[in-house]
Amino acid sequence: MNEREVRVPALTLHHEGGIEKIQLAAFQRDGHVVVGPAYGEKKFNLISESICVAFPSRHDELSLWSLEALASGMPMIMFDLPEARWVSESASLKAKPFNLNEYSELLVMATEKKLNLKMRRAARDLASKYDWESVAKDFENYFYEIIKIEKN
């Protein structure tokens, strides 16, 4: 990869120890800015000014934040981890695990307008599959399967 500097707006998530310590950081034209916890309108504004979510975790379970980002139309840039299987290829760009060169190339690729718009639509479509009714039904079916296995 040729070295070049690319500055684009993006949204990243950093957390330490729990939900109360969630930190959002925005990449802006003048550099990386850590904005601290963001909720409500502040978080909405950060997301609306972003083009993707950089999720460089090496061991995260892809929390509710991931689904919230997808529902906001944010493509996910991540490593291709088992925990990320549920995030479709159309709504994300996934680097081979821990290949930082490939990951950085994907971050640049996410700035391509045509691809980004296509991924934004796919992100919203993916998130729409996780409404409360369908998730509750999936859990109900799972519990019935466990009960059925236990009876036998």
Each residue's pLDDT, cut to its tens digit, for the chain (152 residues) gives 455 565 555 555 554 544 433 444 444 444 555 666 777 888 888 888 788 888 888 776 677 778 888 999 999 999 999 988 999 999 999 999 989 889 888 988 998 999 999 999 999 999 999 888 888 898 899 999 999 998 88
| Interaxial angle between packed helices 64-71 and 113-128, expressed in degrees from 0 to 180 and rounded to the nearest 10 | 120
pLDDT at 46: 81
Positive or negative torsion for Cα 83, 132, 122, 41:
negative
What CA–CA distances, in Å, run from 11 to 58, 59, 67, 76? 18, 19, 14, 10
Query: Is the Cβ–Cβ distance between 27 and 12 less than 8 Å?
Result: yes
pLDDT at 140: 93
**Tokens 């040729």 sit at which residue?**
2
Task: Give the whole-angstrom CA distance, residue 40 versus residue 129.
Answer: 23
What CA–CA distances, in Å, run from 134 to 67, 131, 137? 14, 6, 5
pLDDT at 126: 95
Q: What angle do CA 144, 148, 152 make, to 5 degrees?
A: 170
pTM for the model stands at 0.72
